Chain A
Amino acid sequence: MNLDLTETQRLMQESLGGFLEAHVSLDQVRDLERNQGWDKALWKKLAEQGWLELVIRDGCEGADLVDLSLAVECLSRRAALVPFMEVAVCSRVLRASDADGATRSKIAEGDLVVTPALLEAVDDWNRIEAKVTSAGRLSGAKHFVDYGAEATHHLVAAKQDGEMGLFLVDANNARCEPLKTIGRTPSCQATYEAVPAERVAGEEAFIDMILLGRSLAALQCVGAMEEALEKTVQYARLREQFGQPIGRFQAVRHHCSDMAIRIASSRDLCFEAISALQAGNRDPLRPAAAKASASRAAPEVLMLAHQIHGGNGVIEENDLYFFTLRGKERSLAWGTVDECLEVIGERVDQPVDWL
């Protein structure tokens, strides 16, 4: 057992946090959002500085997933508009068939931007209708392809001869129609009409992808909550009413401490899930628990942040809304509260290793 980060990980966290603070201006994110764009310049800088190495490497000390998660959390705390987590989950699949490392270097250089295209019209991971012919032509439609119009490639879940698989498709061959989501992050509906597709993995990889995506999306919720709490605490220290900082009023303090409790437990459930995946445990329970916890906590915590900010929290000049909207959007992505509770519910007759 070890619940602490390594010194290297702490330094990495600090250094990425500093890098993002220097290179991501929230005013610029605001502009990008309004134009439904993504932060291409930041993506390039992340590649130049070697941060994209995190998504491809096996990691020193076998800790690649934990390192990756810390980066996802940092990026979420800075509201960065880049498909880091999307590329990360795809890279785990692609590297298995990347003997010479060519794909990996293209990813690390920022040139290959690949995003998952999994869900279809019915919000159900088990209902995949997209099909690939024996000649390798893929047809179908995917919903919620995050950064789908911005990516160079899609990793599409589809069936070939009745067998589930993941297929790499050139994004230029997909018809991408943008969706307007609450998070104001790029997402689209993608249609494929007999486009060339290369099979890169089977059903097992598809399931693993959901487990990792779920855990990372949970951590994105946590990042949004952490940032919202920090802003709220700052606000409560500065904002004065009745002649004193509102952070002296017990009602406000108690809201803040309830936020902190929700965040602390969700964050540890995320790292418990990530470290189990790292150890090769494919039990869906922990990722589901992490996501159910974070997805359930996020809206409650974010609404408390708004309650304390009052009117100042809802204007776009204030940064709080980034985290409110992204936090809720992420709470729906990769498994809602209900879906994840169902995963737990299906297993309630199995003994729990509580102690």
Chain B
Amino acid sequence: MIVDFRWSPEHVDFRENLRAFIRDWRTPELLQEYAETYGGGGERIGAFHRAIDERGWMRMCWPVEVGGGGRDTLYQYIFVEEMEYWGMPYGNLTFTSIAPSILAFGSEAQKQQYLPGIYRGELCFALGYSEPNAGTDLASLRTQATREGDEWVIQGQKIWTSLADVSTHIWLAVRTDPSASKHGGISIIIVPTDTPGVTIRPLHTMYGGHTNETFYDDVRVPLDHVVGEVNQGWPIIMHALNHERVALAATGALARIYDQLVDHLASEKADRLSDPVVRRSLAELQLELREHRALALRNAWIIAQGGTPISEASMAKISGTELRSGLANRAMDLLGRAGGLSADSLDGAPMDGRAEFNFRLSPIFRFGGGTNEVMRDIVAAAGLGLPR
């Protein structure tokens, strides 16, 4: 088969069906619930997830053995891109990062226990990685799990545990062997958020929502809540983070900012497209978005061929997250003073305030899921073979 960047008719069909489905479900009430719960979910989101699952879309790319549809993973790329474009809740990191990790490392019992709930949208996982003194240097984490009989007893503190307050579980990275090497004594334990001893405290953010710090005080979970082997958690974290990066590189949300910007500037009220300077700025933004899309698509393609993009995932993560800041910033400049208005301002804001909101939101993507500086080191080492 020769090089061809066009989608197959089957992929196009799927996208059209999905778009029609989203049009039916994209009500102001659903979007409001999404905004209020930050993807954690409520009644409407639950119903939406069930409707997605009835069509088999949530697990269409998972292996048939775990109840999946066994389709090529380009369908998942299309699914995520459309959901991101239209700003719809689809399980986010639980779906794009945790589910693949359970598939790769979980026991049969864990797959049976968690995967159906994830694809029905009933389960939501928060990521418990960072600690106050273990951020980019994640392997220095100190939250500890000690074995007592048939239980793990957890002590410690996590930070940036986003969604913990609306999640059913925390995907917790803990130290299970303090005498082992820095990377060698870490395990992943699944902790239900309603376990006694778990305390969640919100940290309010400049983008309107909140993240959390979480405290673990004598938290007890059964031994079989460990994912994979004990003390072998580091590769699982890396695997999950890699999936997170691929998801962070999605083009959909960025394309939507661009499209809304063009629509606004073309509108009768703004009428700015006759200005060649404006057209030139938009052409530059479109070009940068095309460049980023090429990287995102390449990742999707590598995964669909059964590969694991490492350097490529980092490249796309850098490009997509830096473009998000740049796009929001330059969109605001093109909107003029009104670019700084919030969606809930008097008489609303251009682009429903999407540029202004994304400007506030965008910093988290550049450092979340591994800072872009670490990403550049990964490209240099894994992609280019520079010495560490």
Q: Which residues of A contact B (CB under 8 A)?
A: 1-6, 61-63, 66, 229, 233, 236-237, 245, 247-248, 250, 252-254, 256-258, 260-261, 264-266, 268-269, 271-272, 274-276, 278-279, 289, 292-293, 296, 341-342, 344-346, 348-349, 351-352, 354-355
Contact = CB atoms under 8 A, between A and B. Distances in A.
Contact of A268 (B6, B74, B298, B314): B298
A247 B387 contact: yes
14 contacts: A1-B301, A2-B4, A66-B3, A233-B386, A237-B385, A253-B386, A257-B384, A272-B294, A341-B284, A344-B287, A348-B273, A349-B262, A354-B81, A354-B255
Contact of A355 (B81, B279, B282): B81
A261 B318 contact: yes
Contacts of B376: 250, 253-254, 257-258
Contacts of A245: 387
Contacts of A261: 295, 315, 318-319, 379
Interface string B60-92: 000000000000001000100110010000000
Nearest to B305: A4
Contact of B255 (A260, A289, A346, A355): A355
A11 to B, nearest CB: 15
Interface string B288-304: 01111111011001000
A237 B2 contact: no
Contact of A5 (B3, B283, B292, B293): B3
B286 A275 contact: no
Contacts of A275: 2-6
A345 B279 contact: yes
B380 interface: yes
A2 B262 contact: no
Given A250-B373, A348-B262, A293 B4 contact: no
A184 B276 CA distance: 35
Nearest to A341: B283
B96 interface: no
A345 B283 contact: yes
B234 to A, nearest CB: 22
B266 interface: yes
Contacts of B290: 269, 289, 293
B15 interface: yes
Tell me the interface secondary structure of chain A in the complex. helix
A348 B279 contact: yes
B147 interface: no
Contacts of B318: 257, 261
B380 A257 contact: yes
Given A62-B2, A256-B384, A275-B5, A352 B259 contact: yes
Contacts of A293: 287, 290-291
A281 to B, nearest CB: 9
B255 to A, nearest CB: 4
Contacts of B298: 3, 264, 268
A348 B3 contact: no
What 9 pairs between A and B have smallest CB-CB spacing? A257-B379, A253-B380, A345-B283, A268-B294, A354-B255, A345-B279, A265-B291, A344-B283, A63-B2
A2 B379 contact: no
B262 A345 contact: no
Nearest to A230: B384
A256 B373 contact: no
A354 B384 contact: no
B295 A268 contact: yes
A4 to B, nearest CB: 7
A346 B273 CA distance: 10
Contacts of A279: 4, 6
Nearest to A278: B2
A63 B3 contact: yes
A233 B273 CA distance: 44
A349 B386 contact: no
Nearest to B295: A265
Interface string B94-110: 00000000000000000
A248 B387 contact: yes
B383 interface: yes
A161 to B, nearest CB: 34
A348 B283 contact: yes
A256 B382 CA distance: 12
B5 A272 contact: yes
A342 B2 CA distance: 31
A88 B374 CA distance: 43
A276 B280 contact: no
Contacts of B293: 354
A250 B380 CA distance: 9
A6 B1 contact: yes
Nearest to A244: B387
Nearest to B261: A348
A193 B385 CA distance: 57
Interface string B248-266: 0001100100110010001
Contacts of A296: 287
B85 A355 contact: yes
A351 B85 CA distance: 14
B384 A348 contact: no
Contact of B377 (A4, A253, A269, A278): A253
Given A233-B384, A253-B386, A348-B273, A6 B5 contact: no
A279 B380 CA distance: 36
A129 B139 CA distance: 69
Which of A61, A271, A355 has the most B CB atoms < 10 Å from its CB? A355
Contacts of B15: 355
B282 A256 contact: no
A237 B280 contact: no
A348 B312 CA distance: 29
Nearest to B292: A265
B3 A264 contact: no
B5 A264 contact: no
B201 interface: no
Contact of B383 (A257, A268, A292): A257
Contact of A349 (B4, B8, B273, B280): B273
Given A264-B295, A345-B279, A354-B293, A237 B3 contact: no
